[in-house]
A and B are shown apart, each in its own frame.
Chain A
């Protein structure tokens, strides 16, 4: 007897499930400017690499007429594949199947692929497009969410976890992305909130649109919940693929090496930074003349723009960059930029990515709003993250390094392996004007021409202290370097610290200032 009949039956079964919620629902999905769950997976993964599992899983709910409902794949597609050859576990919620609502079996498909990712030690990508908990399943749906969150936490720092928000992601559902490493959002498509506009209006009387409450832009710029912002799903998929090329598959490996390349941008690094410490510049230009092929993948581009973080390569190896951005808010540290930097530093440390810090900052942002928002606690995260990190840590002081900011930005005192400084740098307890006003208060007060005396004393302070040589004389910085040497010195420092060992006291875990 031939197997032909069984094979045909299988094909038929598969075809039905692969239709998801059916033609009408798919049409609706497309009309919203969205791809289907399956097309999204195919767009992210290498061609012909997707293998799907658990196609025939069905829910077991018997209440509220659910016994008569057949839900294709229980509303989620799971499987494995590759991105630029890197093995990937992936799942995508299917909005065409009962609004992508999450029931217990739906969740169990997700936890199964997450467990597999952890066992295989490969990155896991989750595509979220779901109306939320499947109310009919009640506690079963809640159990499902909880089981996902638990696995997100277990996998955190072991395998890269990527969340892609391509539709609504509301209520409990938001916490899985929040627990993962990188969250991608797309303009007009992504919506994330704990309670939606309807509830907010009925309970509190506040009227707000979904977009203004928890749209892509809000999370990319204001809350910082999203790390990558794209204007289309296709652009978003390209960002994901680019990210995968920069990060290792798991925490026991290094990111893939590429052919070393010189920077594509040939600008003279000395001309990028104005010598007047009060004038701004875009620190990304500095990064572009330092990294291989001038390729830099910025993370949190729109959030806390006063600090820049992201990945580039040097010697063909992935490096994490943390750079103060004088172009925004003079490059100060504040609550948001501290959170942004600390999180990125911890990511790099967890995944064996060396950190290069480019420093040019006037200190912490003054203000009641900052103090009351807990800038002490947030700022402390940066100290914690740098101190805790055992990957190679290299700092280049480009211009200003004042006070608490000097300490925070990967100073020698926090365990930096190498600290270099440009000759134009000002390393001091505070800006010269402020310092002179305090130290020479008496002289200035008593002078006949106070302004002239102040100017004199400021200049005196600049000459004596606002330079890199005081710090260099104490060995706090390893070298005062010419700007044009920066890349070659970084290349050497990175290469020589490749096998760095830096032990930490045994502990279950620290208590970072969350």
Chain B
């Protein structure tokens, strides 16, 4: 069956020891963890931006609606997580976006 090509032994650390081993394709393509930045709002589901209520540069109170992300026939309202200024809007009305897409950047 399928032969692994160009898969070379690497140093693989488990606790304090490094082992020589091959990596699986799935392991190599895993996602690395990054600390979430509270100033960035990402899409939690892929979908379409059907409405935008705020403008860049304006100051928005916590709980005010930012935009509507329609996915799976549901209109999901994305609200302001805390009071802050809109630094950048990265989407426009009608735009289709994937999951984990940077929608809005905030600044204090």
Do A and B truly interact?
yes
Q: Tell me the minimal C-beta distance from A207 to chain B in angstroms.
A: 10
Flag the segment in B10-18, B50-58, B59-67, B83-91 that touches A. Answer: B10-18
Asked if A280 and B47 sit within 8 Å, CB to CB, the answer is no
Q: How many residues of A contact B (CB 8 A)?
A: 39
> Given A221-B26, A362-B14, are A278 and B20 neighbors across the interface (CB < 8 Å)?
yes
Write the A36-79 contact mask toward B (1 if CB under 8 angstroms, else 0): 00000000000000000000000000000000000000000000
A278 touches B1 (CB 8 A): no
Is the pair B1, A301 in contact by a Cβ cutoff of 8 Å? yes
B16 near A280: Cβ-Cβ < 8 Å: no
Q: B22 an interface residue at 8 Å Cβ cutoff? A: yes
Given contacts A327-B21, A330-B12, A362-B19, contact A205 B30 (CB under 8 A): no
* Distance in Å: Cβ of A303 to nearest Cβ of chain B: 9
Residues on the B chain within 8 Å of A123, using CB:
none
Q: Give the distance in Å from the alpha carbon of A200 to the alpha carbon of B20 in the complex.
A: 40
Q: Residues of A contacting B97 with CB < 8 Å?
A: 205
The CA-CA distance from A222 to B25 in the complex, in Å, is 8
Number of residues from B at the complex interface, CB < 8 A: 30
- The answer to whether A328 and B16 touch across the interface, beta carbons within 8 angstroms, is no
Question: Shortest beta-carbon distance, B35 to chain A, in Å?
Answer: 10
**B10 → A minimal CB distance (Å):** 10
When chains A and B are docked, how far (Å) is the Cα of A472 from the Cα of B17? 25
Task: Indicate if the CB atoms of B98 and A204 lie closer than 8 Å.
Answer: yes
Q: Are B23 and A204 in contact (CB under 8 A)?
A: no
Task: List A311-329 residues whose CB lies under 8 Å from chain B.
Answer: 326-329
- Give Cα distance in the complex from A176 to B2, angstroms: 27
Contact of A221 among B17, B25, B32, B96 (CB under 8 A): B25
Find chain A residues with CB under 8 A from B19 CB. 277-278, 280, 326, 330, 362
Q: Does A128 contact B (CB under 8 A)?
A: no
Q: B46, A206: Cβ atoms under 8 Å?
A: yes
Q: Are B15 and A431 in contact (CB under 8 A)?
A: yes
Check if B98 sits within 8 Å of A329, measured CB to CB. Answer: no
A184 in the interface, Cβ–Cβ < 8 Å?
Answer: no
The yes or no answer to B108 lying at the interface (CB within 8 A) is no
CB distance from B23 to the nearest CB of A (A): 7
The reply on B6 being an interface residue by CB < 8 A is no
Closest residue of B by beta carbon distance from A276: B20
Cross-chain contact B15 with A329 (CB below 8 angstroms): no
Verify A278–B17 contact, CB threshold 8 A.
Answer: yes
Which B residues touch A204, using CB under 8 A?
A: 46-47, 71, 96, 98
* B2–A329 touching, CB < 8 Å: no
Chain B residues with Cβ below 8 Å from A473 are: none
Q: With the chains together, A17 CA to B96 CA distance in Å?
A: 48
Q: Which residues of A from 410 to 460 have beta carbons under 8 Å from B? A: 430-434, 437
Say whether B33 contacts A302, CB under 8 Å.
no
Given contacts A204-B71, A222-B26, contact A330 B21 (CB under 8 A): yes
Decide: B12 and A329 in contact? CB cutoff 8 A: yes
Chain A residues positioned under 8 Å from B31 (CB to CB): 369
CB pair B46 A329 closer than 8 Å: no
Closest to A203 in B: B72
Residues of the B chain whose Cβ atoms lie less than 8 Å from the Cβ of A362: 14-15, 17, 19
> Which of A221, A231, A336, A433 is close to B15, meaning CB atoms less than 8 Å apart?
A433
Q: Please, how many angstroms separate the alpha-carbon atoms of A196 and B31 in the complex?
A: 24
Given contacts A204-B47, A362-B14, contact A326 B21 (CB under 8 A): yes
B24 x A431 contact (CB < 8 A): no
Indicate if the CB atoms of B25 and A431 lie closer than 8 Å. Answer: no
Residues of B within 8 A of A330 (CB): 12, 14, 19, 21
A396, CB-defined interface residue at 8 Å: no
B residues less than 8 Å from A363 (CB atoms): 14-15
Whether the pair B22, A327 counts as a contact (CB closer than 8 A) is yes
Closest CB-CB distance, B92 to chain A, in whole Å?
A: 14
| Chain A residues, Cβ within 8 Å of B47 | 204
Whether A205 contacts B72 by the Cβ 8 Å rule is no
Complex interface: chain B residues within 8 A of A437 (CB): 16
Docked-complex contact A205 and B98, CB < 8 angstroms: yes
Which B residue sits closest to A372, measured CB to CB?
A: B33
Which chain B residues in 62-108 approach chain A with CB under 8 Å? Answer: 71-72, 96-98
B26 in contact with A368 (CB, 8 Å): no
Cα-based distance from A331 to B33 in the complex (angstroms) = 23
The docked-state distance in angstroms from the alpha carbon of A301 to that of B1 is 9
Cβ A369 vs Cβ B30 within 8 A:
yes
Given the complex, which residues of A lie within 8 Å of B96, measured CB to CB? Answer: 204-205
* Given A203-B72, A205-B96, A369-B33: A280 in contact with B14 (beta carbons within 8 A): no
**Contact sample, A vs B, 24 pairs, CB 8 Å cutoff:** A203-B71, A203-B72, A205-B48, A231-B1, A278-B17, A278-B19, A280-B9, A280-B19, A280-B22, A302-B1, A306-B24, A328-B23, A329-B23, A329-B24, A329-B27, A331-B21, A336-B26, A363-B14, A363-B15, A365-B14, A366-B14, A368-B33, A433-B15, A434-B16
Which residues from chain A sit less than 8 Å from chain B, CB to CB? 203-206, 221-222, 229, 231, 277-280, 301-302, 304-306, 326-332, 336, 362-363, 365-369, 372, 430-434, 437
Q: 5 new A-B pairs (CB below 8 Å) besides A222-B25, A328-B21, A434-B16?
A: A229-B2, A302-B2, A326-B21, A372-B33, A434-B15
Lowest 8 A-B CB distances belong to which pairs?
A205-B96, A368-B33, A433-B16, A330-B19, A204-B46, A434-B15, A434-B16, A362-B14
